[in-house]
Amino acid sequence: MSQLTKRSEDYSKWYNEIVVKSGLAEFSGVRGFMIIKPYGYSLWDRMKTILDKMLQFTGHQNVYFPLLIPKSTFTKQEEHTEIFSEGCAVVTHSRLIKTNQDQEKLIVDPESKLQEELVIRPTSESIIWKTYKRWIQSYRDLPILFNQWGNALRWEMRTRLFLRTTEFLWQEGHTAHSTKKEAIEEAIKILNIYTDFSEKFMAIPVLRGIKPYMDKFYGSEKTYCIEALMQDGKALQIGTSHFLGQNFSKAFDVKFTNFNGKKEYVWATSWGVSTRLIGGLIMSHSDDKGLILPPKIAPIQIIIIPIYYKENDIIINEISENILNILKKEKIRVKYDNRIGFTPGWKFHEYEMKGVPIRISIGKNEIQNEKVEIFRRDTYEKTYIPWKDLKNSIQKLLDEIQKNIYKKALHRTQKLIKKSDQYNDFKNQINHSGGFIFAHWDGTKNTGKKIQEETEATIRCIPMSNEKEKGKCIYSGNPSMQRVVFSKSY
Amino acid sequence: MSQLTKRSEDYSKWYNEIVVKSGLAEFSGVRGFMIIKPYGYSLWDRMKTILDKMLQFTGHQNVYFPLLIPKSTFTKQEEHTEIFSEGCAVVTHSRLIKTNQDQEKLIVDPESKLQEELVIRPTSESIIWKTYKRWIQSYRDLPILFNQWGNALRWEMRTRLFLRTTEFLWQEGHTAHSTKKEAIEEAIKILNIYTDFSEKFMAIPVLRGIKPYMDKFYGSEKTYCIEALMQDGKALQIGTSHFLGQNFSKAFDVKFTNFNGKKEYVWATSWGVSTRLIGGLIMSHSDDKGLILPPKIAPIQIIIIPIYYKENDIIINEISENILNILKKEKIRVKYDNRIGFTPGWKFHEYEMKGVPIRISIGKNEIQNEKVEIFRRDTYEKTYIPWKDLKNSIQKLLDEIQKNIYKKALHRTQKLIKKSDQYNDFKNQINHSGGFIFAHWDGTKNTGKKIQEETEATIRCIPMSNEKEKGKCIYSGNPSMQRVVFSKSY
């Protein structure tokens, strides 16, 4: 098994290699589409299970809407359409037929042309709000708190595994409310869920904020977001939660009769996180030896590897399987790799690459001393634990690893959070260490654009925690009321 | 809440109404596409969780392959292509633009025409086997036991909720093996899993068999299937498992080096069950009052309904919540419906429609006597259980209901299994009671076709349990070596 390119040599190459070599995913032959392999899918499945529980616990229900959206529905909300129509998969025909010239070759049957073209959902606001019109009459029908797990498709020019793929897996929530206040509260509630999910399970510290008006979701009034810093100092948007106002209810004419018998337009939110999260997970924690996965979401939490010696193979297997069963009873996701034909060294390398939090190895010495060797993927520490203590200490160790991975990411992030009041400084910081730079901005689109052209940094968000502070725009010198967060980003 | 059309009046109308009124699903505005509503989705989710566990337990791993398949890949296996190209969604463009004439209207941008058309997967053999070529070199790479949960799309002319929709949700398994024997064993192993799932969880008894050669899956060597009888005497195919032989490995040139260093083509299977299962579930058990769901897959196993009297509302709530918590601790899926503004009668009706196996109601009498009223959805029986016995008796009652629903379906099915040796009899049976009719067939496609034209019945399968028995074809009088199963079907 070959080595990874070092992060310090070529970060982007390191990323691509780690995704493939750890067995998470690879590109398919179809441009921009990836294949999620078993290890990657079980990671996604684990993330999905946790987040789904959080969403259901807060009253959200899962539904499933059609993959294909008729063009007339898709294009109802103007602002929304403007951006999503630029790159979308359009279904125009429903049949292939053999050509007269070449019976081997199939062509699109012109006679199967659809009366109306269908667009593969890039996101489902339009088809869902068309349906909500049928479902919502009275305040009694509200709120609607629906979520959908599925695939979506956006035609991307430059794609990267997990981070930006034409097709992606995600959840998209679509809620309907009787008041503006309730809808805003919902959007923020979801941002809080995403924050908890990211910090407590993925071990990724995030910055919570609001997108500047020119970067909000098309069709929304306000986009709340969480942003995380990757190891190369660039930001990654982890999740977004949109307050849609009445934009979609107006586009689809969805009104409800309120308490007083008057008709009003419905208020809305939408929100989502996708397989992109896996990209963020990789770039937050992993190192030059491979993935580092937080125990709470690791598909395999502990790998047991036997170190065979001829004279005691049977004993090693017996003891390993005993330990395996003890750990399984503790509901730990554990695997015993007793494949022959692979050396222990090869296996060590393999599970380091896959980011399994704990490796237990059992050989001659361990049996003589009634201990196991414990290897921590996050710190490379080796310790020994007596067999009899394993049951009681292993969950604690997993919790400690979880905390340590978060702490490390938090420490790294905090070091890269800076204030800047001087444009040359700002440019230096962006180009060298990167990170989140808190700076004053005059609030104009044009300034944002200029800064991006000159530094590649964009305004990631207006932080929700931000205090008001008078100052001057770092670029134009014009007055500003608060700092915003700049960073290069994925 | 209105009543359902009776099954005896109009079975098909009853079916459509029950799906909508129980809140499982409804048609979207898009032709042939349905919306799966929260109750329907949680039912599917429950089915998925159980089946997924069974598949993982037998060594299968989940993966995710692209939704879109390039035309050249899609059309590689000739027989497969022939059928699936007849109705498929073809993506030809990647952009919509504003027209010059009408700035409001968007059209497909002719300049965004794709170099190669993409087909939305009707099933994924082609794209997966194109990938397996890259993954399989040696016998060490085999077997591959992959499964995918996702959506698929087949252009259907006549659609019915769950039973036949253009888009459907399903799992599709795709395995690769080094020997023919192992591949056949895998196909049968899956059929056994489907059988267990159907009988033990869905409470649907099934007949196991092999499709006659003219009805096998296009691109397969042999299709194993399970068929169930619905209440109207028609058969529904519950699931299929295909031995694909070397058809796909040859089409995509997938060879492996065997133990002896020689190159061989890989052996394959594929298999799937879909949201269609929900249609079978409805038509197996439900009655004129609504759904009847087996407890093991019911999203809500027990509904608790308070019968409020002014003077003891607080006590009723207290006791109900107490019972709710006791049942939750027993891991029972239980819900307490204390909504005001709905009468108990309305709620009774609602949860009968939704097929909740047990209803517990708590009112004045129940409090005085320290009992709860228990209503069984499957038998309409009412009994009383003392509060203190509830914890110990409720799981037993759920198990009994599960068994009873299966027994009832089995009894109904067995009554509709008949032998026939005389074509007039056969026609009478098909037209009156329906059911599975075991009859001799001369093995020709033509006879099958004639019988279908005259009776609408088709050969559902050649039963796996069938003993050899010499006889004469019921239609042609030509010799036959065994009986096959005829039925009208969905």
Place B303 in a pLDDT band, splitting at 50, 70 and 90: very high
The amino acid at A15 = Y
Burial state string for A333-366 with b = 16 or more CB within 10 A and e = fewer than 16: bbbbbbeeeeeeeebebbbbbbbbbbbbbbbeeb
Place A103 in a pLDDT band, splitting at 50, 70 and 90: low
User: Of B281, B351, B352, B295, which is closest to residue B327 (Cα–Cα)?
Assistant: B295
* pLDDT score of B340: 87
Mean pLDDT of A361-365: 92
Inform me whether the pLDDT recorded for B466 exceeds 70.
no
Inform me whether the pLDDT recorded for B1 exceeds 60.
no
Residue A27: other Cβ atoms inside 10 A: 18
pLDDT tens digits, one per residue of B11-53: 999 999 999 999 999 999 888 999 999 999 999 999 999 999 9
Place A390 in a pLDDT band, splitting at 50, 70 and 90: very high
Place A466 in a pLDDT band, splitting at 50, 70 and 90: low
Q: Residue B95 is nearest to which of A34, A44, A86, comparing CB atoms?
A: A86
Could you tell me if B46 lies within 8 Å of chain A, comparing CB atoms?
A: no
Mean pLDDT of B212-223: 93
* pLDDT score of B417: 96
Contacts 24+ apart (CB under 8 A), A429-433: A430/A455, A430/A456, A430/A457, A430/A486, A430/A487, A430/A488, A431/A455, A433/A233
Q: Three-state secondary structure along B140-203?
A: HHCCEEEEEEEEEECCCCCCECCCECCEEEEEEEEEEECCHHHHHHHHHHHHHHHHHHHHHHCC
Mean pLDDT of B383-392: 93
Interface of A with B in 63-122 (CB under 8 A): 63-71, 73-75, 81, 85-97, 105-106, 108, 112, 117-120
Q: Do B68 and A34 make contact, defined as CB atoms within 8 angstroms?
A: no
Q: What is the pTM of this model?
A: 0.96
Q: Do A120 and B88 make contact, defined as CB atoms within 8 angstroms?
A: no
Place B455 in a pLDDT band, splitting at 50, 70 and 90: very high
Mean pLDDT of B458-480: 92
Which residues is B359 bridged to in the sheet?
A: B303, B375
Q: For residue A479, is it left (φ>0), alpha (ψ between -120 and 50) or beta?
A: beta
| C-alpha span between A336 and A334 (Å, rounded) | 7
pLDDT tens digits, one per residue of A323-349: 999 999 999 999 999 998 899 999 999
User: Of B462, B133, B116, B455, which is closest to residue B268 (Cα–Cα)?
Assistant: B133
Place A82 in a pLDDT band, splitting at 50, 70 and 90: confident
Could you tell me if A61 lies within 8 Å of chain B, comparing CB atoms?
A: yes
| C-alpha span between A272 and A149 (Å, rounded) | 10
Inform me whether the pLDDT recorded for B439 exceeds 60.
yes
The secondary structure of A215-250 as a DSSP string is: GSPTT-SEEEEEEEE-TTS-EEEEEEEEEEETHHHH
Please count the residue pairs, one from chain A and one from chain B, whose beta carbons lie less than 8 angstroms apart: 177
The distance of A47 to chain B (nearest Cα, Å) reads 14
The amino acid at B124 = S
**Mean of the per-residue pLDDT values for chain B?**
95
Q: Do A85 and B73 make contact, defined as CB atoms within 8 angstroms?
A: no
**Strand A144-153 with A61-62, pairing:** parallel
* pLDDT score of B489: 96
The distance of A166 to chain B (nearest Cα, Å) reads 10
Torsion of CA A194, A196, A202, A204, to 10 degrees: 90
CB B157 within 8 A of CB B280: no
CB A296 within 8 A of CB A402: yes
Place A1 in a pLDDT band, splitting at 50, 70 and 90: low
Mean pLDDT of A423-432: 95
| C-alpha span between A332 and A335 (Å, rounded) | 9
Let me know how long chain A is: 490
| C-alpha span between B455 and B449 (Å, rounded) | 10
pLDDT tens digits, one per residue of B87-146: 999 999 999 998 877 766 899 999 999 999 999 999 999 999 999 999 999 999 999 999
Q: Residue A96 is nearest to which of B66, B90, B94, comparing CB atoms?
A: B90
Residues near B215 by Cβ (< 8 Å), separated by ≥ 6? B223, B458, B459
E strand residue ranges, A68-112: 68-70, 90-93, 96-98, 106-108
**Using a CB-CB distance cutoff of 8 angstroms, which residues of chain B are in contact with residue A92?**
90-93, 108
| C-alpha span between A223 and A209 (Å, rounded) | 9
| C-alpha span between B58 and B241 (Å, rounded) | 15
Q: For residue A290, is it left (φ>0), alpha (ψ between -120 and 50) or beta?
A: left
Could you tell me if B127 lies within 8 Å of chain A, comparing CB atoms?
A: yes
Q: Residue B65 is nearest to which of A28, A90, A146, comparing CB atoms?
A: A28
The distance of A455 to chain B (nearest Cα, Å) reads 31
**Using a CB-CB distance cutoff of 8 angstroms, which residues of chain A are in contact with residue B97?**
85
**Residue B438 main-chain phi, psi, to 5 deg:** -85, 115
Q: For residue A349, is it left (φ>0), alpha (ψ between -120 and 50) or beta?
A: alpha
| C-alpha span between B313 and B331 (Å, rounded) | 27
**Using a CB-CB distance cutoff of 8 angstroms, which residues of chain A are in contact with residue B173?**
none
Percent composition of chain B: helix, strand, coil (DSSP 3-state, to 5): 35, 30, 35
Inform me whether the pLDDT recorded for B299 exceeds 90.
yes
Q: In the numeric block, which tokens belong to residue A441?
A: 């901005």
Could you tell me if B34 lies within 8 Å of chain A, comparing CB atoms?
A: yes
| C-alpha span between B435 and B487 (Å, rounded) | 6
pLDDT tens digits, one per residue of A144-191: 999 999 999 999 888 999 999 999 999 999 999 999 999 999 999 999
Q: Do B119 and A97 make contact, defined as CB atoms within 8 angstroms?
A: no
* pLDDT score of A341: 85
Mean pLDDT of B366-380: 95
Q: Do A95 and B85 make contact, defined as CB atoms within 8 angstroms?
A: yes
Q: Do B87 and A75 make contact, defined as CB atoms within 8 angstroms?
A: no
Instruction: Give the mutation candidate from A39, A57, A74, A96 for the B interface (greatest B CB count, under 10 A).
Output: A96
- pLDDT above 70 covers what percent of chain B? 99
B-chain residue closest to A70, CA distance: B30
**Using a CB-CB distance cutoff of 8 angstroms, which residues of chain A are in contact with residue B20?**
none
The amino acid at A173 = G
